[in-house]
Amino acid sequence: MTSRYESGLTKLNELAPGAADSMMDTFRDVCPDLAKYTIEFPFGEVLQRDGLDFRTRELATIAALTAMGNCQPQLKGHISGALNIGCTQKEITEVILQMSVYAGFPAAINGMTAAKEVFELLDDHDAE
Amino acid sequence: MTSRYESGLTKLNELAPGAADSMMDTFRDVCPDLAKYTIEFPFGEVLQRDGLDFRTRELATIAALTAMGNCQPQLKGHISGALNIGCTQKEITEVILQMSVYAGFPAAINGMTAAKEVFELLDDHDAE
Amino acid sequence: MTSRYESGLTKLNELAPGAADSMMDTFRDVCPDLAKYTIEFPFGEVLQRDGLDFRTRELATIAALTAMGNCQPQLKGHISGALNIGCTQKEITEVILQMSVYAGFPAAINGMTAAKEVFELLDDHDAE
Amino acid sequence: MTSRYESGLTKLNELAPGAADSMMDTFRDVCPDLAKYTIEFPFGEVLQRDGLDFRTRELATIAALTAMGNCQPQLKGHISGALNIGCTQKEITEVILQMSVYAGFPAAINGMTAAKEVFELLDDHDAE
Amino acid sequence: MTSRYESGLTKLNELAPGAADSMMDTFRDVCPDLAKYTIEFPFGEVLQRDGLDFRTRELATIAALTAMGNCQPQLKGHISGALNIGCTQKEITEVILQMSVYAGFPAAINGMTAAKEVFELLDDHDAE
Amino acid sequence: MTSRYESGLTKLNELAPGAADSMMDTFRDVCPDLAKYTIEFPFGEVLQRDGLDFRTRELATIAALTAMGNCQPQLKGHISGALNIGCTQKEITEVILQMSVYAGFPAAINGMTAAKEVFELLDDHDAE
């Protein structure tokens, strides 16, 4: 195991506890290296970098995924992750709302629906 | 003139002095209301909102425009604007670099080329 | 309430009776202003404008949403809405079919599948 | 030559006189069949169809190309073509403006810039 | 029936036995010509062409659909089809993995999830 | 320097002699790590992999970039690179033509225009 893998694992677990195991498990039989690369490059290199704090990085990712509009599972994962590292629900919904300007209202509405589903799931967990 | 228009004008001038006049001028004969709406809705409403500071909003916009990859003029405008309101070159290049993960290397490379062009233009101005 | 909101509400109800309430309800706890802006800007301003009739506007929207291919809920809403304001099924399917040329066959096929689902749902309602 | 080719040629010449020759010429050495297919399928079949008039078809295409935002040459060609078959400048700018709602302001602004360039070029021709 | 239709039918049945009937059935009441065109143009013309073998054509299609990220049903159909005409699971997963570079990790992950679902479905069939 | 960097450099130079130096030079002052990552991850890892030959990988990349339609500089680079590693002009134009089916005619036409420009530039070089 490379040190990029190990530090990526730590970073990913900070954002989404259990996600690394789940991703390794999902892709074990089809393409385990996709999980390995995901841990090594985005989490082990890019998101480790100085010059921009992790919270702002997650808000930037939420902006991009909302605007692209074709990767709802990842958008939900990053909304949940952003909350885990200290972003507020308000910061997240403001970023998504702002995308109505740059990517149109359907993108913003679908992004906000993703946020609503994540928030409600977490509320249900908290209520248990 | 609505108060949304007036406060939008102030906001847009903060980001990009002269851009409102230039946009009004460009679209005067084809569709002046596109300029009017741009000032009223994005600048007069969305970017005025509480809950997320203007600098983070601009970084989120740079993330989205880099990821979408089909609006280079607006990307350059927001890179320049982000610098005007206090974002550092480093914050901007980190956001763009991060898009290699979410939208691919071509998007990040084209975004970084836009940043380079904006930075060099400003350096030239400073050197004059 | 602004007059833009009120006229937007009327316009949206013409297209999709009940949609405004449903949208307000959906986003009440996450971001009610997204629903408010949707009513005020698209419906209260853009779709109110002269120079292009409402039916042609809806066909243009169906063209764009089919081509973008990443906002099926909105595409279905506008297909249903277009029928409500007098577009024929034939006009709608012709616009979607035409997108095979500009956005590829997968986009057209997914758009047509959306149309089929909307048409069948309405047939079921009529049959009740 | 197929009858689809011949009727496509007539249709394309109606929209953009000279475009077929120019396209055949451009792709003669790389891939002449791309020009042939373009004439046969979009122009010889899809745009020949009943159920939607040619003017509305062109407005739908302008909507889609503005929203997609990655094919400016084709967008300009269809704006020019739409004028040739009787669409008004106002109808065209209204469709483009409307895309601010569905695809965001950058898409609408870049589409309107394309329209402005086409309109001005035609004004220059008329003035000669 | 045109000869393009007949040869397209043969080609499509080679890739996906039963798909033509299923598509004709799906669109019979909404727009049968979309099914007809799909058989005639992509399958009856483009995929019939010399100069590139069918297997490489399918891998190119899988690359494009993974990168676009907004047409999962077609992506799954082409993954299944690629296997039918002799592509290996390994070739398919390599193409999808490679899209992490050009379209980002979310596109690659969603593409790989589609591949996993297709592979597992086929394993289930084989186990029966 | 990592071994990923060194093997990536070799791979990139095989595809596009001089491109690594040019890219390092371009991004030296804005974000040298973008060039470093580009060499390490796409070229030092993904394109090094077994299971799919380099020529098919390049054709898959040309398919994806043509379909995405928003990264012409990279598309041209990969068309030129594909020729360097033994793809024929015919294979390249067939892949691009095929994208008319999956991403629409504008995408295919713009991709073919890129191919034409690359081919002509190389012809000019050969003629010198």
pLDDT at position F1 over 90: no
Of E70, E107, E112, Cβ closest to residue A30: E112
Contact D103 A101 (CB under 8 A): no
Q: Give the best residue of A45, A49, A50 to mutate against chain F (max F CB count within 10 A).
A: A45
Of B52, B94, B103, Cβ closest to residue A94: B52
Distance, in Å, from the CA atom of B51 to the CA atom of A109, rounded to the nearest integer, reads: 19
Burial B39-65 (b: 16+ CB within 10 A, else e): bbbbbbbbbeeeebebebbbbbbbbbb
Q: Give the best residue of C66, C98, C102 to mutate against chain F (max F CB count within 10 A).
A: C102
pLDDT at position B127 over 80: no
Distance, in Å, from the CA atom of F34 to the CA atom of E77, rounded to the nearest integer, reads: 36
> What would the pLDDT profile of C80-89 be if each residue is shown by its tens digit?
999 999 999 9
pLDDT at position A106 over 80: yes
pLDDT at position C73 over 90: yes
Phi and psi of F82, rounded to 5°?
-60, -40
pLDDT at position F128 over 80: no
List CB contacts (< 8 A) between F23 and chain B.
109
Distance, in Å, from the CA atom of A117 to the CA atom of F47, rounded to the nearest integer, reads: 38
In this predicted model, which residue has the larger pLDDT, D45 or C127?
Answer: D45
pLDDT of residue C2: 78
Mean pLDDT of A65-80: 98
pLDDT of residue E126: 78
CA B85 to chain centre: 11
Mean pLDDT taken over chain D: 96
> What would the pLDDT profile of F17-75 be if each residue is shown by its tens digit?
999 999 999 999 999 999 999 999 999 999 999 999 999 999 999 999 999 999 999 99
Q: Percent of chain D, pLDDT > 70?
A: 98
Of B99, B102, B104, Cβ closest to residue E101: B104
Minimal Cα distance from C103: which residue of F? F104
Of C106, C110, C112, Cβ closest to residue E31: C112
Contact A31 E113 (CB under 8 A): no
pLDDT of residue E128: 67
List CB contacts (< 8 A) between B69 and chain F.
68, 70-71
Quote the tokens at residue C108: 């057209």
Residues of chain D with CATH 1.20.1290.10: 52-128
SS (H, E, C) F3-53: HHHHHHHHHHHHHCCCHHHHHHHHHCCCCHHHHHHHHHHHHCCHHHCCCCC
Q: Assign domain E52-128 one CATH number from 3.40.605.10, 1.20.58.110, 3.50.50.60, 1.20.1290.10.
A: 1.20.1290.10
pLDDT of residue C1: 65
Q: Answer whether D100's CB lies under 8 Å from B37's CB.
A: yes
Mean pLDDT of A35-46: 98
> What would the pLDDT profile of C86-109 be if each residue is shown by its tens digit?
999 999 999 999 999 999 999 999
Mean pLDDT of D76-86: 98
- A121: CB partners within 8 A, 6+ apart: none
Phi and psi of B28, rounded to 5°?
-50, -50
Q: Residue D62 to residues B85, C61, D73, D96: CA-CA distances in angstroms?
A: 36, 11, 12, 7
Q: Answer whether B46's CB lies under 8 Å from B54's CB.
A: no
pLDDT at position C17 over 80: yes
pLDDT of residue C94: 98
Give the pLDDT band (50/70/90) at residue E1. low
Distance, in Å, from the CA atom of C36 to the CA atom of A96, rounded to the nearest integer, reads: 15
Quote the tokens at residue F48: 């090094």
pLDDT of residue D128: 67
Give the pLDDT band (50/70/90) at residue A1. low
Task: Give the number of residues written for chain E.
Answer: 128
Distance, in Å, from the CA atom of F92 to the CA atom of F86, rounded to the nearest integer, reads: 11
> What would the pLDDT profile of C54-71 be if each residue is shown by its tens digit?
999 999 999 999 999 999
Does the CA dihedral B8-B9-B15-B19 come out positive or negative?
positive
Q: Answer whether A25's CB lies under 8 Å from A52's CB.
A: no
List CB contacts (< 8 A) between E45 and chain D.
37
Inform me whether the C-beta atom of residue D106 falls under 8 Å from chain B C-beta atoms.
yes
Mean pLDDT taken over chain A: 96
Contact E37 C97 (CB under 8 A): yes
Contact F112 D73 (CB under 8 A): no
Inform me whether the C-beta atom of residue D102 falls under 8 Å from chain E C-beta atoms.
no
Give the pLDDT band (50/70/90) at residue A127. confident
Quote the tokens at residue E34: 């979309």
pLDDT at position B10 over 80: yes
pLDDT at position B5 over 70: yes
Helices D72-84 and D105-127 sit at what angle, rounded to 10 degrees? 50
The DSSP-derived string for B22-73 is: HHHHHHTTT-HHHHHHHIIIIITTGGG-SSS-HHHHHHHHHHHHHHH-S-HH
E50 by DSSP, 3-state: which? coil
Which position has the token pair 């089909």? Answer: B70
A104 by DSSP, 3-state: which? coil
Rg of chain A on CA atoms, in Å: 15
Inform me whether the C-beta atom of residue B5 falls under 8 Å from chain C C-beta atoms.
no
Inform me whether the C-beta atom of residue E93 falls under 8 Å from chain A C-beta atoms.
yes
pLDDT of residue F126: 78
Prediction ipTM score: 0.96
